[in-house]
A and B are shown apart, each in its own frame.
Chain A
Amino acid sequence: MNLYTYASPAHFYHLAGRLIPWFSWGAGILALWGLYISFFLAPTDFQQSEAYRIIFIHVPAAWMSMFIYLVMAFWGAIGLAFNTRLSFMMARALAPTGAMFTFVALWTGALWGKPMWGAWWVWDARLTSELILLFLYVGIIALWAAIDDIRRGDRAGSLLTLIGVINVPIIYFSVKWWNTLHQGASVSLTKAPSMAAIMLQGMLVMAFAAWFYTIAVVLVRVRRIILERERQTEWVKAILQKET
């Protein structure tokens, strides 16, 4: 079997349709398992008491927010280099989920920060660069929304994603040094040096749940995009007729 077959939207549409139930169920089961670990098995932290439990959402969301951006840039680069239609569709399907996870990471971070640091927001390097990552996501989505021409929109958005990828490490380090050079950070994000194994396990299970959720949602979204863009083709017309 040739894997490149699935670069064709028509083939990928059916493959995605078959994969979605697996990833949806996987996400549901992993999330239940992860939440069970995080609420019932993981012990109370002796420094942070119960409030630390938010990391089981917060850390996977932060990981996903950064990782999805990289995947988006990867698909954008592939699309620009090889002119494959499906790559751009994947990049577009990923962006809203990435922005959502960035927002969740910021929001849960604020909820955690209030009891821990006594402030909803501090201008810590990680918080600030995560906020700028959210701005980048919003900018890319806004650019896609503003361009009606599909071909131009795909390319423009991917170019912006790429220049963002070069810039993200620079932004991260500049913010980090900015923070340390301005009268030292009064709070530090570094958690207790060693983390109980069960806590780490809960976090990893939740991270996998976030993964599976992302894949499922992105596949659903990319199927919609395929139908919309390929609506003139015979196979899409056949599918639409069967469904109505």
Chain B
Amino acid sequence: MHRFLQAVLWRDLTLAARRRGDWLIAQFFFVMVASLFPLGVGPEPQMLARIGPGVLWVAATLASLLSLSRLFADDHRDGSLEHMLLSSGPTVLLVLGKSLAHWLIYGIPLLVIAPVLGLQFNLPTDAIVTLEISLLLGTPILSLLGGVGAALTLGLRGGGILLTLLILPLYVPALIFGAGAVDGVMAGTGAEAHLSLLGAFLVLSFMIAPWIAAAALRVSLE
């Protein structure tokens, strides 16, 4: 069981390392979306600091969605996904391994880029630290819930846009708690409450999302 999860994870990481173009696109998308906001609303530092946490969080959810439509699609196209489902390993672990790989490939780099963007948005240091913690807790939620959407829309016409439509409403709590934590630090009310709720939502997603995604994957491939 443990070995199966490891194998799925390692395979996806290797594939990502060999196709660095896809990986870079998602990261640049994150930077570009975040950079468009100052151009749209104006460069006043106070206002940028006010909207910064929300903008960075929204950009992170969109960047995560952009890459999610490919979570199962590439393996589905060349037939390897069906072989993985036929193998003795449990589908839940397959989904979990792929979601985890998605988080490592697309979530962790967001954590590296976010502080730089935070400086662009004139966020104070303690707010940037909180932003990092909230993204660390929040981006796995995006990958786990996104796995459900990717499994449901596998192989459909216009699957990418449909995935966005299905999954964005489910991201709302993560967005609220994540951006709220940073806002809380800047407003002086502290971030603990938000971060605890975000952590609770992560645990809940971790417990439920892989099972529903596994069921959805079987439905999509039967």
Which A positions have Cβ atoms within 8 angstroms of B? 80, 132, 135-136, 138-139, 142-143, 146-147, 151-152, 155-156, 159-160, 162-164, 166-167, 170-171, 174-175, 177-178, 181-182
Contacts and interface: CB of A to CB of B under 8 A. Distances in A.
B115 interface: no
A242 B220 CA distance: 38
Given A156-B152, A175-B172, 9 more contacts: A139-B165, A142-B165, A143-B166, A146-B159, A156-B220, A171-B169, A171-B173, A174-B172, A174-B173
B44 interface: no
A152 B220 contact: yes
B176 A156 contact: no
B153 to A, nearest CB: 7
A164 B172 contact: no
19 contacts: A132-B172, A135-B165, A138-B165, A146-B159, A147-B156, A151-B222, A152-B219, A152-B222, A155-B219, A159-B152, A159-B215, A167-B173, A171-B173, A174-B176, A175-B172, A175-B176, A181-B183, A181-B184, A182-B183
A174 B162 contact: no
A170 B208 CA distance: 14
Contacts of B162: 142-143, 146
Interface residues of B, number: 33
B173 A159 contact: no
Interface in B194-222: 197, 201, 204, 208-209, 212, 215-216, 219-220, 222
Contacts of B153: 143, 146
B73 interface: no
A166 B176 contact: no
A163 B146 CA distance: 12
Q: Chain A's interface: helix, strand, loop or mixed, by majority?
A: helix
Contacts of B152: 143, 156, 159-160
A121 B184 CA distance: 25
Contacts of B215: 80, 155, 159
Interface of B: 145, 148, 152-153, 156-159, 162, 165-166, 168-170, 172-173, 176-177, 180, 183-184, 189, 197, 201, 204, 208-209, 212, 215-216, 219-220, 222
